[in-house]
């Protein structure tokens, strides 16, 4: 069963698929434009697969099916996709978790072929299997039955064909330029059965250039008629006309636009009809024809944008087609490119709420960015300076200029409602601001949230909260990736701004932050800086790190334990202790080495646990770390060792080690216990205790207090010659140093 959220994701995925399929029919599948849409589809699909594991769609002639039921049956996009797959004899398709972009690319490259080409290669199943596509499964219909049925349907009736020849001729040539009642009646007859009319066009016009010219003239006049007379007279006729256009073959409309030069320039009257059917190929041809003819981005195209916004602002795909068409025609290599960008800026600023305009603006910037190399090539080939303007343009500059324009509006706005609107629009630009080095703008934005600014009255008096809420809305991997790149830079201001933004994003950014950090080349520096940010986030960070680590190999542990130690919160060190207790010796040694390199009192708890190890090397590392910390608990443990009842038996070596360690620590608290042990008689009496007592003497010497030196002085008269000589040597050395220093 699909939840509402999962169904929403599925719809977005299918819409992304539709965009890929339609663009594959316009451009070669290897075209960079198509590759961009493929990547978008892959992102949407994997979001869904992360939740479901597998997505299976049934294909019927009418629409797509989900779990045996029609899914969005009345939605035209879904119907179009179903028809596309059905005509290629696909009855179901399944996508599995783990699918790669290369597998998706192969799938679309294969499915876009004609049915006959697919059949020649043995069918889609065989094609995908031969190219090692393992995460896409499909079932196929019997090709022969599909081909036979559709071939039969496509055979035209001779009488019907004759009728259509006459009909098209009458429509295209029999209507005068001046619209009359007779011409309106002729159109009304054509509109009476819209499906039949569209079917006739599709069958009898498509491959005949002469008929295409006739049809183009007919549609030109029809658009004039519909605009000026017909739609005013009868609203039903408008509906019928839209039904005809809705049923026309997309390639037919494209051919009509290409075929008739006059028809191209009736676009303003035809735009309201064309925008209703969202025919990408037709729109592309229409825009290209204007660009080629006028050689610049004119007011005519801005007029088209205005009309599209009025009639249907829910179709941002037109924005892609418009800008990509301009790019393909090299419009940005001409001197009018600055004029174009200024026009788009003004249009976007005047329509801040219009997502469609924003989409066009972003596409224009993408075109400029993608066209930079082409500009250079044009300049090399040209004897003149045709690309001087283009070469002065960079996406970074344009993006930031636009953001600055919005920011200026933001700073001057007093009305709380307008402030909210402009703030929303500004934050739509944040990803590009960050990715193009515009953190200075965010610095200025953060500076707005000062005491003076908060004093403003209105719904947004707590301005910093507004900023935080917007940042939560835009928490996406791309933004965090960009922030991490700034964290890795030497620029202090950029780092501070990035830190503030991530802190405002809060714990929800931790996993995204780690994803981005581990992609950076200079990982040690990034880890150091990221740990400083995470240490300020408070409780819950370790839980986020643990969740991030769940599906990661142990190779990440080495850097994560370093990160946790640098975070230096009780929570982080507790998680580090947990890792130590449950992982192998290698990672344990890494943890102790990290502590040894930079001992902290908070790490003593881990060291106390680590002392129990049987690994000699690890134990030595732990001991060294505890000595550096001069840890009181460790000293108490050593002193306890001195209290062994019989220190001269098998425990002799262990006690000497403890005494040596106390010497390293130099703690006065151990003196009474050392003195007691120094005068303790060995049992049995014949076992030598010289080694142990000499070790005590050296430890007392290292402690160096008056009390300690007094014990050594008394040792110069000890019965043991070895002990006497050592004590005498230490006393004489001390006197020599005293005399030397005094002199």
Taking only the tens place, the pLDDT of each residue in 574-628 is 888 888 887 888 888 888 888 888 877 778 788 778 777 888 788 778 777 776 7
Where would I find the beta strands (DSSP E) of 569-707? none
Q: Mean pLDDT throughout 52-62?
A: 83
Determine the pLDDT at residue 502. Answer: 72
| Residue 391 pLDDT level (bands cut at 50, 70, 90) | very low
| CA gap 59, 705 in Å, rounded | 91
**Where does residue 593 rank: exposed (0-12), middle (13-18), buried (19+ CB within 10 A)?**
middle
Determine the pLDDT at residue 262. Answer: 46
Determine the pLDDT at residue 392. Answer: 41
The residue behind tokens 């992102």 is 43
| Residue 458 pLDDT level (bands cut at 50, 70, 90) | very low
* Structure-block tokens of residue 712: 């050594």
| Residue 436 pLDDT level (bands cut at 50, 70, 90) | low
Which helix (H) or strand (E) element contains residue 56? strand 54-59
Helix extents (H) in 630-670: 632-642, 652-665
Assess whether pLDDT exceeds 50 at residue 661. Answer: yes
Beta-bridge mates of residue 93: 57, 138
Q: Mean pLDDT throughout 216-227?
A: 57
3-state secondary structure of 279: coil
Distances, alpha carbon 333 to alpha carbons 86, 97, 296, 501, in Å:
43, 43, 10, 37
| Residue 449 pLDDT level (bands cut at 50, 70, 90) | very low
| CA gap 643, 391 in Å, rounded | 84
| Residue 157 pLDDT level (bands cut at 50, 70, 90) | very low
Determine the pLDDT at residue 333. Answer: 42
3-state secondary structure of 193: coil
Assess whether pLDDT exceeds 60 at residue 500. Answer: yes
CB 304 within 8 A of CB 267: yes
Distances, alpha carbon 101 to alpha carbons 35, 39, 40, 46, 409, in Å:
10, 7, 10, 10, 41
| Residue 188 pLDDT level (bands cut at 50, 70, 90) | low
* Structure-block tokens of residue 328: 């393909």
More confident of the two residues 70 and 360: 70
Beta-bridge mates of residue 70: 65
User: Which range, 74-83, 221-230, 540-549, has the best average confidence (pLDDT)?
Assistant: 540-549
| CA gap 115, 145 in Å, rounded | 13
| Residue 642 pLDDT level (bands cut at 50, 70, 90) | low
For the beta carbon of residue 292, count every other beta carbon within 10 angstroms: 12
Assess whether pLDDT exceeds 70 at residue 540. Answer: yes
| Residue 175 pLDDT level (bands cut at 50, 70, 90) | very low
Q: Lowest-confidence range among 87-91, 100-104, 218-222, 290-294?
A: 290-294
Where would I find the beta strands (DSSP E) of 495-650? none
Q: Lowest-confidence range among 390-404, 446-460, 522-536?
A: 446-460
Determine the pLDDT at residue 494. Answer: 61
* Structure-block tokens of residue 140: 């196929």
3-state helix, strand, coil in the chain (%, to 5): 75, 5, 25
Kindly report the pTM of this predicted structure. Answer: 0.35
Assess whether pLDDT exceeds 80 at residue 47. Answer: yes
Which helix (H) or strand (E) element contains residue 558? helix 557-567
More confident of the two residues 637 and 415: 637
| Residue 60 pLDDT level (bands cut at 50, 70, 90) | confident
Assess whether pLDDT exceeds 80 at residue 289. Answer: no
Q: Lowest-confidence range among 25-29, 142-146, 199-203?
A: 142-146
Q: Lowest-confidence range among 107-121, 405-419, 453-467, 645-659?
A: 453-467
Determine the pLDDT at residue 619. Answer: 76
Determine the pLDDT at residue 381. Answer: 47
Q: Which tens digit of pLDDT belongs to each residue from 673-686?
A: 777 767 765 544 43
CATH architecture, domain defined by 633-742: Alpha Horseshoe (1.25)
| CA gap 116, 114 in Å, rounded | 5
User: Which range, 44-48, 170-174, 404-408, has the best average confidence (pLDDT)?
Assistant: 44-48
Determine the pLDDT at residue 202. Answer: 62
3-state secondary structure of 140: strand
Determine the pLDDT at residue 411. Answer: 61
Q: Lowest-confidence range among 329-343, 430-444, 723-737?
A: 329-343
Helices 439-447 and 492-505: crossing angle in degrees, nearest 10, is 60
> In the predicted model, what is the mean pLDDT of the chain?
65
Q: Mean pLDDT throughout 45-64?
A: 84
Q: Mean pLDDT throughout 516-524?
A: 74
Helix/strand/coil (H/E/C) assignment for every residue in 3-29: CHHHHHHHHHHHHHHHHHHHHHHHCCC
CB 323 within 8 A of CB 364: yes
Determine the pLDDT at residue 557. Answer: 79
Determine the pLDDT at residue 409. Answer: 57
**Percent of the chain clearing pLDDT 70 (strictly above):** 40
CB 268 within 8 A of CB 304: yes
Q: What are phi and psi of 696, to 5 degrees?
A: -65, -45
* Structure-block tokens of residue 597: 């390199």
User: Which range, 38-52, 570-584, 698-712, has the best average confidence (pLDDT)?
Assistant: 38-52
Give me the CATH code for the 467-629 domain, please. 1.25.10
Helix/strand/coil (H/E/C) assignment for every residue in 473-503: HCCCHHHHHHHHHHHHCCCHHHHHHHHHHHH
User: Which range, 272-276, 376-380, 673-677, 720-724, has the best average confidence (pLDDT)?
Assistant: 720-724
As a whole number of Å, the end-to-end CA separation of the chain is 93
Determine the pLDDT at residue 380. Answer: 45
- For the stretch 648-657, contacts whose Cβ atoms lie closer than 8 Å and that sit 24 or more positions apart, written own/partner, are 648/682, 648/683, 648/687, 648/689, 648/692, 649/687, 652/691, 652/692, 655/692, 656/691, 656/692, 656/695
Q: Which tens digit of pLDDT belongs to each residue from 404-429?
A: 655 665 565 555 555 565 666 566 66
**Where does residue 342 rank: exposed (0-12), middle (13-18), buried (19+ CB within 10 A)?**
exposed
| Residue 268 pLDDT level (bands cut at 50, 70, 90) | very low
- Sheet of 136-140: strand order equals 69-70, 64-66, 54-59, 90-96, 136-140
């Amino acid at each position: 069963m699909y939840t509402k959220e999962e169904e929403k994701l599925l719809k977005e995925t299918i819409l992304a698929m539709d965009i890929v399929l339609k663009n594959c029919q316009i451009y070669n599948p290897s075209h960079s434009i198509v590759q961009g849409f493929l990547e978008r589809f892959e992102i949407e699909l994997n979001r869904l697969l992360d939740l479901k594991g597998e997505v299976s769609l049934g294909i019927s002639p009418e629409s797509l099916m989900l779990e045996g039921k029609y899914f969005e049956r009345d939605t035209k996009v879904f119907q179009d996709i179903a028809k596309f797959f059905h005509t290629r004899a696909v009855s179901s398709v399944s996508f599995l978790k783990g699918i790669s972009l290369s597998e998706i690319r192969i799938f679309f490259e294969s499915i876009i072929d004609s049915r006959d080409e697919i059949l020649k290669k043995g069918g889609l199943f065989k094609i995908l299997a031969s190219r090692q596509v393992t995460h896409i499964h499909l079932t196929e219909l019997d090709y022969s039955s599909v081909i036979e049925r559709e071939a039969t349907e496509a055979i035209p009736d001779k009488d019907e064909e004759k009728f259509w020849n006459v009909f098209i001729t009458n429509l295209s040539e029999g209507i005068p330029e001046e619209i009359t009642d007779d011409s309106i009646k002729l159109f009304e007859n054509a509109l009476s059965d819209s499906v039949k009319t569209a079917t006739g066009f599709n069958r009898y016009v498509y491959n005949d250039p002469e008929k295409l010219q006739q049809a183009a003239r007919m549609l030109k006049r029809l658009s004039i008629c519909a605009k000026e007379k017909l739609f005013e007279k009868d609203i039903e006729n408008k509906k019928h006309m839209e039904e005809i256009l809705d049923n026309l073959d997309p390639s037919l409309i494209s051919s009509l636009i290409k075929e008739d030069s006059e028809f191209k320039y009736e676009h303003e009257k035809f735009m309201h009809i064309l925008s209703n059917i969202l025919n990408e190929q037709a729109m592309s041809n229409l825009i290209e024809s204007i660009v080629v003819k006028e050689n610049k981005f004119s007011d005519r195209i801005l007029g088209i944008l205005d009309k599209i916004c009025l009639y249907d602002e829910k179709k941002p795909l037109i924005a892609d087609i418009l800008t990509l068409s301009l790019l393909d025609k090299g419009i940005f290599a001409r001197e009018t490119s600055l004029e174009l960008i200024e026009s788009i800026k003004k249009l976007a600023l005047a329509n801040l709420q219009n997502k469609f305009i924003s989409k066009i603006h972003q596409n224009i910037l993408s075109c400029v960015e993608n066209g930079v190399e082409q500009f250079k090539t044009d300049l090399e080939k040209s004897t003149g300076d045709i690309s001087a303007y283009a070469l002065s343009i960079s996406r970074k500059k344009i993006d930031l200029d636009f953001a600055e324009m919005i920011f200026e509006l933001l700073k001057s706005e007093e009305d709380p409602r307008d402030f909210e609107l402009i703030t929303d629009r500004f934050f739509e630009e944040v990803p590009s601001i960050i990715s193009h080095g515009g953190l200075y703008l965010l610095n200025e934005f953060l500076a707005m949230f000062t005491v003076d600014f908060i004093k403003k009255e209105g719904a947004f008096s707590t301005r910093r909260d507004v900023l935080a809420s917007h940042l939560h809305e835009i928490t996406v991997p791309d933004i965090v990736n960009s922030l991490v790149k700034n964290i890795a830079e030497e620029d202090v201001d950029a780092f501070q701004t990035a830190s503030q933004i991530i802190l405002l994003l809060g714990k929800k950014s931790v996993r995204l932050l780690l994803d981005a950090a581990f992609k950076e080349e200079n990982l040690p520096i990034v880890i150091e800086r990221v740990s400083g940010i995470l240490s300020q986030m408070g409780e819950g960070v370790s839980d986020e790190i643990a969740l991030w680590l769940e599906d990661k190999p142990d190779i990440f542990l080495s850097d994560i334990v370093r990160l946790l130690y640098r975070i230096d919160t009780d929570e982080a060190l507790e998680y580090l202790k947990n890792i130590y207790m449950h992982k192998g010796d290698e990672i344990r040694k890494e943890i102790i080495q990290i502590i040894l390199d930079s001992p902290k009192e908070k790490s003593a708890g881990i060291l106390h646990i680590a002392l129990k190890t049987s690994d000699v090397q690890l134990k030595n590392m732990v001991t060294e770390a505890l000595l550096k910390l001069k840890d009181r608990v460790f000293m108490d443990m050593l002193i306890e060792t001195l209290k062994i009842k019989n220190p001269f038996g098998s425990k002799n070596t262990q006690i000497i080690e403890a005494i040596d360690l106390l010497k390293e620590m130099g703690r006065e608290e151990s003196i009474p216990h050392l003195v007691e042990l120094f005068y303790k008689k060995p049992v049995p009496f014949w076992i030598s205790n010289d080694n142990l007592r000499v070790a005590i003497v050296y430890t007392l010497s290292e402690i160096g207090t008056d009390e300690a030196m007094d014990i050594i002085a008394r040792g110069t008269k000890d019965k043991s010659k070895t002990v006497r000589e050592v004590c005498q040597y230490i006393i004489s050395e001390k006197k020599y140093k005293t005399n030397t220093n005094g002199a």
